[in-house]
Structure 1
Amino acid sequence: MNHRTRMDWMFLWNCLLRYSYLRLEKICLKSSLKGIPGFGWAMQVAAFIFIQRKWDEDKNHFENMLDYFCDIREPLQLLIFPEGTDLTENTKARSNQFAEKNGLQKYEYVLHPRTTGFTFIVDRLRDGNNLDAIHDITVAYPQNIPQTEKHLLYGNFPKEIHFHVRRYPVEALPVSREELQLWCQKRWEEKEERLRLFYEGKKYFDATGRSKIPPCKSELRVMVVKCVSLLYWTLFTLAAFVLLYLYSFVRWYFMILVVIFVAQQKLFGGLELIELARHQFGRSKQNVHNLKRN
């Protein structure tokens, strides 16, 4: 997916809610977000992939996490932003410098993708028999563009969000890493042109020649999920504050949980790393057991 704003990943939930299963999604995102109280802790529990955005440091972590996903055989939707960051004047200037240095086209609506991590992920999941398709997603905002969380806090929610989604089955993907890098770069060339037509034209994506659209869940079902979620989290939040105010043992329980979450991240790096270490330990014990049996 292209990374127009810092909030793209959250807006995509609306699309997944209608066409997929939101609970299956994992996100590849910068490691500093894992320390956000509550929200970052939840992402650790969900085993999101946190990266430093330095390939020498991230490669081994990618390898371990992807192997973990392949081992547990759970359905997986992994959201990645090959551009590495959202589109701003500063990041576009750096992307243009990269384009000049490498004799590439300068982009106005996207950044040049970083293909090293992308190709590594595809190869690793394909080798682990845990990749059925890549969904190439282009997101666009025809009216207001909330660039950061601050815009949402001020009530500047996007009035419309448009998604262009194209599915590439694994059989249609190139085999070699070099061809896969070119394939990714080609998708971004298409995104640039698609977004140029979008923003300079009638501000909707051309649906000509589109493939069969998967069935959309009914708006009634979507509305029920939204209402139930809103009701649950509103009541949960109110109940939490009431219990914290009324009972000292609840305050102690809350404080202990906060200490545990902060301490485990300081000591071990995050809950997802603890789960990964537990899984690797169990797998090594199983391998030893199998060797003894043989």
Structure 2
Amino acid sequence: MAPFMETFHRLAWIVLKALLRFTFMFVNNCVAIPSYCLYLIVLQPVRIMDSPTFWHIEGVMFRWLLAMVSSWGWFAGYTVTEWGDDVRPISEDEAMVIVNHQATGDVCTLMMCLQDKGTVVRNMMWLMDHVFKYTNFGLVSLIHGDFFIRQGKAHRDKQLFYLKSHLDKYYNSRDRKWIVLFPEGGFLRKRRETSQSFAKKNDLPYLTHVTLPRLGATQVILKTLGPQQENGTLGTDGSPQGPKDNKGRGLQWVVDVTIAYPNAKPMDIQTWIFGYRPPTVTHVHYRTYPIKDVPVETEALTGWLYKRFEEKEQLLDHFYKNGERLLAARMMPWLAVSCWWSLYACLQAPRPVALPLCRNFPTTNRTEGGAVPGDDPRPCVAVWCPVICLCLGLLVVLYSTAHLLLVCLTAVVRKERDGAKKNAGAIAADLRSVGQPQKPS
């Protein structure tokens, strides 16, 4: 009987925790996403007068929203261990990120990983399946300028044309730095059988933990965003490139990211929301390639991509067999992302919180001490939870408003300072030219 009751209590706690987490996240989305949209509506005059400042502010708020999603997993005990190359030094460079795709939780894992990588999160662009457009986060991604791609042969050519137009229109104008895509074109469980059948017919690598990548989107991104050289590769010759036609330096890196879940059991978004899975450590491996080492021609790029996913297969196979590490020389400890998470910890504690006790206090027969004789104490959830949520909600609104004003003020001051520097340089140049002796004509 005792084991049965213990199991019942554990299941009851899991269900209760899942319901509480879902309720909070529903309210969280109902507050955060409309706030993001309304702030941007209010700031539309800034977009007209100073577009870079507007998108800088939008990027800051976009990062807050991604930190919010990351916290859902972090406080359920879902953490990340990072291996391989340190990508923080290249966070200000332009890069294309290729990731293996196992489940919807891959996006949440990346949101968690990239929070401490400088300005990457607020200046990144995502390529994701068009289904995500109809989720709660779809409107945010649409405003941010992410691209929703439709899978299937019938849509392939048209979608690649739309992707190129999207990159030309939004990537440089909104100062994007990193672009994230999943070259496999779908989840592992859906594409594995098709990929293995295609590999057998064409004498290609037989992969189990990943699938053969598709070329289309990767090649469009490289050709559109990377400076092409005569030898068919991408990159620069080492000389600095100045801005031209509102474009940056172009892609400088390809970041190869491999996500590995313990026991080959990927997490989906439902796990992040309800938190019913025990605490889990997800392993993420990075490897960086200079853009000059990446071919752009179809045949060479296909071979290069297949080679990367063969390496992913080896990494994942080693990890699943040994369960220790992703064949890396060093580990990069993952850091907490922001002070906001202390606030989320109050609302999403992974264990029961001792709430203050209250009693039934009828309007009559109340004793002097406030307690009614014979009345059993009980957790006053119905009273305290709304009060706590209301207070914390007010704090969030005040903090975000103050932070947003600070961001706006900082952007204005930075712009004025840059203008003053330019004026000072022009005045100094004029003074030097006046002080120089005139050459006889």
TM above 0.5: yes
Q: Is 2:105 aligned against 1:10? A: no
- Picking from 222, 243, 253, the partner of 2:337 is 222
> Equivalent residue for 2:30?
none
- Picking from 280, 295, 298, the partner of 1:174 is 295
> Equivalent residue for 2:46?
none
Q: Is 2:134 aligned against 1:35? A: yes
Q: Which runs of 5+ in 1 are unaligned?
A: 244-294
How far off its partner does 1:31 sit? 1.2
How far off its partner does 1:76 sit? 2.2
Aligned-partner Cα distance in 2 for 1:192–1:144: 12
SS in 1 for 2:280: coil
Report Cα offsets for 1:31-60 as digits up to 9, x if no partner: 122122x42111111111001123122012
Largest Rg, 1 or 2 = 2
1:185-196 correspondence to structure 2 within 5 Å: 185-196=306-317
The answer on whether the counterparts of 1:6 and 1:149 sit within 8 Å (CA) in structure 2 is: yes
SS in 2 for 1:75: coil
Q: Percent identity among equivalent residues?
A: 27
> Equivalent residue for 1:284?
none
> Equivalent residue for 1:67?
168
- CA-atom RMSD in angstroms: 3.2
> Equivalent residue for 2:192?
92
How far off its partner does 1:93 sit? 1.0
SS in 2 for 1:72: coil
The answer on whether the counterparts of 1:143 and 1:160 sit within 8 Å (CA) in structure 2 is: no
The answer on whether the counterparts of 1:151 and 1:157 sit within 8 Å (CA) in structure 2 is: no
Q: Is 2:323 aligned against 1:202? A: yes
SS in 1 for 2:186: coil
How far off its partner does 1:163 sit? 0.9
Report Cα offsets for 1:68-90 as digits up to 9, x if no partner: 234416032111000011111x4
Q: Which runs of 5+ in 2 are unaligned?
A: 1-98, 228-246, 349-384, 395-441
Aligned-partner Cα distance in 2 for 1:56–1:175: 18
> Equivalent residue for 2:413?
none
TM-score (norm 1): 0.69
SS in 2 for 1:168: strand
SS in 2 for 1:203: coil
How far off its partner does 1:91 sit? 2.2
Aligned-partner Cα distance in 1 for 2:292–2:340: 35
Amino acid at match of 2:186: T
The answer on whether the counterparts of 2:160 and 2:216 sit within 8 Å (CA) in structure 1 is: no
Amino acid at match of 2:188: L
Residue 206 and residue 71 in structure 1: after superposition, are their counterparts in 2 closer, same or farther (change >3 A)? closer
Q: Is 2:250 aligned against 1:130? A: yes
Runs of 4+ in 1 over 3 A off after TM superposition: 228-235
Amino acid at match of 1:49: F
1:214-253 correspondence to structure 2 within 5 Å: 219=335, 222-227=337-342
Amino acid at match of 1:149: I
The answer on whether the counterparts of 1:145 and 1:158 sit within 8 Å (CA) in structure 2 is: no
The answer on whether the counterparts of 1:31 and 1:52 sit within 8 Å (CA) in structure 2 is: yes
> Equivalent residue for 1:283?
none
SS in 2 for 1:45: helix
Count of residues in correspondence between the two structures: 233
Aligned-partner Cα distance in 2 for 1:8–1:28: 13
> Equivalent residue for 1:45?
143
